[in-house]
Structure 1
Amino acid sequence: MKSIPQVSGFRIASPIVSGILWAIIWLAAGTLLVSLLLYSSSMNENEIVPWVFGVHGFASFCGGFVSARRSGRRGWYIGLATGFLYALIVLLSSYLANDIGWTVRILSMLGICCAAGAFGGMLGVNTGSAGKRR
């Protein structure tokens, strides 16, 4: 008898798409946490910017980690690509929702996401089972 994960057979083939999916999941969890922090404390919305950058950096780190782990090679490159695509998706959705303009914050978020994704990729490629089989 086969277990449930073997019966369903659903698996994302691309490591970058899998990493972006996990980054979005961690973004949702971080957004919920920051929203609860903003609601339960006396913090203003102007003081929340470092927390938002931290959530995006952590989500990009996790996405780069997962994508490089799934890829099994070129960790910093796969992680950097995942972080860059994640940042572009977030910026595109922000632009479409609020019609934001280009500021230094956008470039800093892009840099944070790319650096965190590359660092996560460097760590993730060394934990994957694909590198041990070679």
Structure 2
Amino acid sequence: MNSTKSIVRPPRIGSPLIAGVIFSIIWLAIGALLLSFLLYFSGMKENNLPQYSLAVHGFSALAGGFVSGKRSGAKGWYQGALLGLIYGITVLTIGFLAADSGLSAKSAMMLLAAVLAGAFGGMIGVNLKK
């Protein structure tokens, strides 16, 4: 009998863009959960929530851009900006379908912040690839 152990590896996502979107959505879920806990357990007011949610969106796009840029290995700003655009459009579409929110200056600001944060994260990710 042959008693060798086989190593089971999780599947690796081939596309850097899809991997970045998945990581940004994971960070969005963590940030939303953290904001919910802060809102419930601390003295934080609901009036401050839009600023904190913009920061969570920016960090999520930054993290997704980082992953996307690191996995692509080249053109990190492009990969990250594209990720930020896809992330922002996805969040706006979900907001439109779930909460019937329309387009406004705040949604345009969130989209711009996601694109810029994603591009910055992509540049960092490409430069840390070694």
Q: TM (normalized to structure 2)?
A: 0.92
Name the counterpart of 1:101.
102
Matched, 1:116 2:117: yes
Structure 1 unmatched ranges of 5 or more: 130-134
Change (3 A) 1:127 1:28: same
Distance 2:72 2:127 in 1: 11
Q: Alpha-carbon deviation of 1:102?
A: 1.4
Aligned to 1:34: 35
More displaced 10-residue stretch of structure 1: 41-50 or 63-72: 41-50
Matched residue type, 2:36 = S
1:125 equivalent in alignment to 2:116: no
What is residue 61 of structure 2 aligned with on the other side? 60
Decide whether aligned partners of structure 1 residues 73 and 49 sit closer, same or farther in structure 2, where only a CA change above 3 A counts.
Answer: same
Q: Give the Cα–Cα distance (whole angstroms) in 1 for the partners of residues 6 and 45 of structure 2.
A: 49
Deviation by residue 1:56-98 (Cα, 9 ceiling, x = unmatched): 0000000000001000000100000001101111111111101
Q: How many equivalent residue pairs?
A: 127
Determine the C-alpha separation between the residues in 2 that align with 1:106 and 1:52.
Answer: 12
Residue type of the alignment partner of 1:101:
G
In the alignment, structure 1 residue 15 sits paired with structure 2 residue 21: no
Q: Which runs of 5+ in 2 are unaligned?
A: none
Q: Shift of residue 3 of structure 1?
A: 6.3
The offset of 1:11, in angstroms, is 1.2
Identity of aligned residues (%): 48
- Quickly say closer, same or farther: Cα 1:43–1:20, change in 2 above 3 A: same
Cα root mean square deviation, aligned: 1.4
- Could you say which structure has the larger radius of gyration? 2
Partner Cα separation in structure 1 for residue 95 and residue 27 of structure 2: 17
Cα distance between partner residues in 1 of 2:81 and 2:42: 35
